[in-house]
Amino acid sequence: MLKAVVNAFKIPDLRRKIIFTLGMLVVFRLISHIPVPGVEPAAIASVLEQNRILGLLDLFSGGALVNFSIAASGVYPYITASIVMQLLVPIIPKLDELSKQGEQGQQKINRWTYWLAIPMALLQGYGSVSMLSRPEYGVFKTGFQFNLFSAEHFLPSFAILASMTAGTMVLIWIGDLITEQGIGNGLSIIIFGGIVSRLPSMVGGMMQTPDVDPAAGWGGMVGFLVIGLLTIVGIVLIQEGKRELRVQYSRRVRGTKLYGGGSTTLPLRVNMAGMIPLIFAQSFMVFPGTVATYIVDVNADETARATWSWWQNAAKWVYDTFNQENFVYWILLFFLVIAATYFYTLVVFSQSNIADNLKKSGGFVPGYRPGEQTERLLNTIVNRITLLGAVFLGVVAVLPFIVQRLTGIQQVGLSATGLLIVVGVAVDTMKQLESQLMMRRYEGFL
């Protein structure tokens, strides 16, 4: 891997792409440190530890939410818009027709996704500011406490939401520039850069183990590193794992010439859904507990709880059930990740129309008729290999909690989603870099 990077710097074109990518990451980090006026950064860090939804959003903003910067929403609104568009394509006939028109139709869908990202950014910004503007949090400095979009504070509210939306769209633009002129997928690189920039503080937090014997603390750190390395190896194997299906192409005679023939392989990935199931499952699991904190004071003592009504007790039960330290939470998260993986894989695979495309191009799987019979075969194979990918994602989702119990390190700063993003983006970027080297016939690489 390091040799490929060194060889890439020897080629002017690739060197320019790498330097451009690094430069855009520097711009992204500068933008993520431009705060919204009147914010107390120390108070935000405390709130993020208490509010799991905001903590999850901080992950996808690349740590920009901890500064409450204009890039606090990150590229998450665009990710949400992309998921919504993918789910709407098979439902809305117009979108389904566009998806079958090749590159031109995909460009229109991408354009609509950009437009949909704007209201998504406004909604996310409104939700974040609404949570953080609560008086008990003390996020805003004295003189900046306000009610969103009240008659007195309409202009400051509009300015904050407009700046956060503009920051999100600038990050999306930077991501597109990286995709076009740099190395790797731009949006993934931005998320990757934000997570990696937080690694030093994460390691420092994990090293702080008060009231714990130093030897036990170092032993836990070694165990954590071993489990982390094994997890990274597993992620690479699953991400790169695929089932290759042999495809034969029939020969066609046109005039006096013979076309077609030969065979190839159709790769079916073990994990077609990527990180989306983890994002969906974790967002769903933190939502009930967060809503419960708005209904009742979850830290109230027994005297205060004696006067609660049944629905307040129900809210407390929901909070305790959907607590990350609860074993029930692990089980629910595990099975929810599996269900989300199957659902999203079904959506992605159905949109690819592999069986129809093979039939149109004269391809067929030996022993199976083109069309419906081939489609049943593909669905069977995808269901079987997805089981392995879904179970692995479920294990990765609950692994941080298991690591906490095994190693005693409570400050596990890198979540399962973050680890999957970091490893997946690193592998994809290196594959693109290696493909660029191969296209230029770099002899030293092979």
Q: Are residues 136 and 268 in the same domain?
A: no
CATH of the domain at 295: 1.10.3370.10
Q: Among all chains, which residue has been given the structure tokens 């599996």? A: 338
Q: Are residues 201 and 307 in the same domain?
A: no
209 DSSP assignment: -
**pLDDT per residue rounded down to tens, the chain (446 residues):** 566 667 777 778 888 888 898 899 889 888 888 877 667 666 676 666 666 666 666 666 656 666 677 887 778 888 888 888 877 887 888 887 887 777 788 788 888 989 998 998 888 888 777 777 766 666 665 555 556 666 676 777 788 888 888 988 998 999 889 888 888 788 888 878 777 776 666 666 555 554 444 555 566 566 667 776 777 777 778 877 888 888 887 766 666 666 566 777 888 888 887 777 877 787 777 777 777 776 776 666 677 777 777 777 787 788 777 777 778 888 888 898 899 888 888 877 877 778 787 777 777 788 888 878 888 888 888 888 888 888 888 888 887 777 777 666 555 545 666 777 777 777 777 777 777 777 765 444 44
Q: Are residues 236 and 132 in the same domain?
A: no
- Rounded to whole angstroms, how far apart are CA atoms 22 and 193? 9
Q: Write down the pTM of the prediction.
A: 0.73
Q: Are residues 226 and 256 in the same domain?
A: yes
Q: Are residues 129 and 268 in the same domain?
A: no
The range of the structural domain enclosing residue 235 comes to: 210-410
Note whether 385 and 270 are within 8 A (CB): yes
Report CA-CA distances (Å) from 431 to 103, 240, 397, 426: 23, 11, 25, 9
Report CA-CA distances (Å) from 73 to 161, 164, 290, 434: 10, 7, 18, 33
The amino acid at residue 159 is A
> Coil, strand, or helix at residue 37?
coil
Q: Is residue 55, in this structure, part of any structural domain at all? A: yes
Residue 415: both structure tokens together: 């979540």
- Measured in degrees and rounded to the nearest 5, phi and psi for residue 247 equal -125, 130
Q: Are residues 186 and 261 in the same domain?
A: no
Q: Is residue 104, in this structure, part of any structural domain at all? A: yes
Q: Is residue 416, in this structure, part of any structural domain at all? A: no
- The length of the chain, given as a count of residues: 446
Q: Are residues 273 and 203 in the same domain?
A: no
Q: Is residue 435, in this structure, part of any structural domain at all? A: yes
Into how many domains does the chain fold? 2
Q: What is the DSSP string of 366-378?
A: TTS-TTHHHHHHH
Q: Are residues 2 and 116 in the same domain?
A: yes
The amino acid at residue 228 is G
Residue 330: both structure tokens together: 């692990």
